[in-house]
Every structure is written in structure tokens, then in C-alpha cells.
Amino acid sequence: QAKARELGNQAFKLARQLETNQFNVALAGGPGVGKTSLALAIMYQLMNAGQTAMFVSTAELLRLVNEKYEAPDIRQRLLYVLKDMQNVDVL
């Protein structure tokens, strides 16, 4: 619990820094350690600060890329996702 609290505090500080400075953040770790939860918490904080944000599952994005030749609707959906990814403050 102490480690989780410490990581949560670090994520909050990071989100506060991202409100005024743009830089890349990479979260690394094994499955189930909380990377997605931390990314979503940071994104939520930035959205509350007025930034636009989007969370994209890399697994889902890869699935769409792999299936884009099989169905025209998937290709169109992929184009919308890629366009939206280019237009947000935080991805």
C-alpha cells in the first residue's frame, strides 16, 4: 500500500508538471502493475486542467491496423482514430 501511495503521488506530481510543460512519459512494467491506471489518472488530471486528451490501447490499434484490409468500415474507423490522435494535446 505504501508503494502504491508513493507511485500515486509521483503520478500526481508528474501530471501537475505536464500541465505547464510538454514532455513525453513512458510507463514500463509487467502486466497488471497499474500502468494503465496511472496513465488514465494523469490524463484525467490534465483534462481537468483544460487539455484535450485521448487514451489509445496499443493492442486495439494494432488490431485495427491488421484488419484494415479486410473491412472498409475498419479502415474508416482507423482513419478517424489516427486523425483524432493528431489533434489532442495529450495522447
Are residues 7 and 38 located together in one domain of the fold? Answer: yes
Are residues 42 and 25 located together in one domain of the fold? Answer: yes
Q: Phi then psi for 33, rounded to 5 degrees?
A: -95, -5
pLDDT for res 52: 93
Are residues 8 and 37 located together in one domain of the fold? Answer: yes
pLDDT for res 63: 85
Distance between CA atoms of 25 and 76, rounded to whole angstroms? 29
pLDDT for res 16: 86
pLDDT for res 47: 92
Segments forming the whole domain that contains residue 15: 1-51
| Residues 89/52, Cβ–Cβ less than 8 Å | yes
Are residues 3 and 45 located together in one domain of the fold? Answer: yes
Are residues 57 and 46 located together in one domain of the fold? Answer: no
How many folded domains does the chain comprise? 2
pLDDT for res 5: 85
- Report mean pLDDT in 10-residue bins for the chain, 91 residues: 83 84 86 86 89 89 84 84 91 88
Cell of 21: 510543460
Are residues 46 and 58 located together in one domain of the fold? Answer: no
Are residues 64 and 31 located together in one domain of the fold? Answer: no
Helix and strand counts by DSSP (H, E) for the chain: 4, 0
Distance between CA atoms of 43 and 38, rounded to whole angstroms? 9
